[in-house]
Amino acid sequence: MENFALTETPQRRLPWLAALLSLLTPGLGQLYSGRPKRAVAWFLVAAVAGGAFYGARALGLIAENPGILPAVYALLVAIWIGAIVDAWRVAAQAGSIALAWYNRWYLYLAIVLLSGLAGLAVPTPSAQTQPFSMPSGSMIPTLVVGDIFQVQTDAYRSAPPQPGDVVVVTKEAGGRSFVKRVIGVAGDRVQMKEGRLYINGAMVERKDEGPFTDPDNGTGTATLTQYEEILPNGRRYRIVELSDKEFFDNTPEFLVPPGELFLLGDNRDSSMDSRAIGEFGFIPLGHVLGRVLFISGSLDPTRIGMKID
What is the percent of the chain with per-residue pLDDT over 90, rounded to a whole number?
53
Domain boundaries, the chain: 11-121, 129-303
Q: CB pairs under 8 A, 24+ apart, for 276-281?
A: 276/248, 280/171, 280/178, 281/171
- Show which residues are catalytic: 138, 180
Q: Average pLDDT, stretch 88-112?
A: 89
Q: Return the closest-CA partner of residue 271 out of 297, 249, 303, 294.
A: 249
Distance CA 31, CA 41 (A): 11
Q: Return the closest-CA partner of residue 179 out of 188, 189, 169.
A: 169
**pLDDT of 62:** 55
User: Is the bond preceding residue 26 a cis peptide, omega within 30 degrees?
Assistant: no
Q: Average pLDDT, stretch 92-121?
A: 84
Which position has the higher pLDDT, 76 or 189? 189
Distance CA 38, CA 46 (A): 13
Q: Average pLDDT, stretch 110-130?
A: 70
Query: Does residue 1 surpass a pLDDT of 50?
Result: no
Domain at 129-303, CATH homologous superfamily = Umud Fragment, subunit A (2.10.109.10)
**pLDDT of 266:** 97
- pTM equals 0.61
Q: Which of the four pLDDT bands, split at 50, 70 and 90, describes residue 7? A: very low
Which position has the higher pLDDT, 53 or 243? 243
Sign of CA dihedral 83, 86, 92, 93: negative
Q: Which of the four pLDDT bands, split at 50, 70 and 90, describes residue 65? A: low
245-260 pLDDT, tens digit each: 999 999 999 999 999 9
**pLDDT of 237:** 97
Q: Return the closest-CA partner of residue 172 out of 274, 292, 290, 283.
A: 283
Q: Average pLDDT, stretch 98-125?
A: 78
184-214 pLDDT, tens digit each: 999 999 999 999 999 999 999 999 999 988 7
**pLDDT of 125:** 47
Distance CA 268, CA 283 (A): 18
Sheet arrangement for strand 196-199: 202-203, 196-199, 189-193, 254-255
Pick the range with the lowest mean pLDDT from 105-109, 124-128, 168-172, 179-183.
124-128
**pLDDT of 309:** 81
121-178 pLDDT, tens digit each: 554 444 578 888 898 899 999 999 889 998 999 899 889 999 999 999 998 877 889 9
Q: 238's torsion region: left (phi>0), alpha (psi -120 to 50) or beta?
A: beta
Neighbours of 152 (CB within 10 A): 22
